[in-house]
Amino acid sequence: MAIISSRPSIALVKTRWRKKGERTLAERAGVIGANVWKISLEIFKHMEKEGFRFGSDRLVTDVLAEFIAFLVQLADRAVYGKLGEADRAALIGEVVGHLAATMENNQRDLLGPGEYRKAFIDLLNARFEEYAGFEVPGGEPGYPCLRFFAAKVSDAMASGDNKWVLEQMMDIEAPEMVRLVRKLIEQTVEAESPSPVPGQPG
């Protein structure tokens, strides 16, 4: 299988509200969470179309969890300086709660009844701590961060047939994810927070 040189752009779900006025953190978190879920699904579908094998439904949800962890930590970094620390923490907490509920519902549909939320939250917490060790200058993850993300996706896919996973994630999928998160935060957070928080970089 050859590595493609480009990929179709993913469109965000609606990030504009009909009614005017400032939106609550919960409302903005809901939009961010819905988009993170959509982006994760679209990346998965694109990789399937490119011939990558994901195996069982459980492996699919494991891969989606890695996508989500990468996207949410990017969102957290993108929010830095746009909101105060308390609001930033509250926003990301709401985003994670939204995604945990969505993931749990999907896992129950795919895998049957069970307790899925704690394992998902534990994975996100572990990944956030690991990603915190990487520098992301200007919102652009460097090679070590991308390599770590790609390796986690490769591990989650657990298949020796997918030898191009690292290249696909680093060269094709991750740049699109970074672009979309930046756009998402611009439309849901920056648009309503025009002035940087004092004492923090803009």
Per-residue pLDDT band at 43 (split at 50, 70, 90): very high
The pTM assigned to this predicted structure is: 0.86
Give domain limits for the chain: 25-190
pLDDT tens digits, one per residue of 149-160: 999 999 998 765
What's the mean pLDDT in 169-181?
94
- The Cα–Cα gap between 142 and 151 comes to 14
What's the distance, CA 77 to chain centroid?
12
Give the pLDDT score at 195.
40
pLDDT score at 158: 77
State pLDDT tens for residues 126-150: 999 999 999 888 878 999 999 999 9
Count of helices and strands (H, E) across the chain = 7, 0
User: Higher confidence at residue 182 or residue 196?
Assistant: 182
| Whole-number Cα distances in Å, 141 to 18, 136, 149, 171 | 34, 4, 10, 12
- Strand (E) positions, the chain? none
Q: What are phi and psi of 80, to 5 degrees?
A: -55, 130
Mean pLDDT of the 71-91 span: 94
Token code pair at residue 134:
């990487």
Q: Distance (Å, rounded) from C-alpha 150 to C-alpha 131?
A: 12
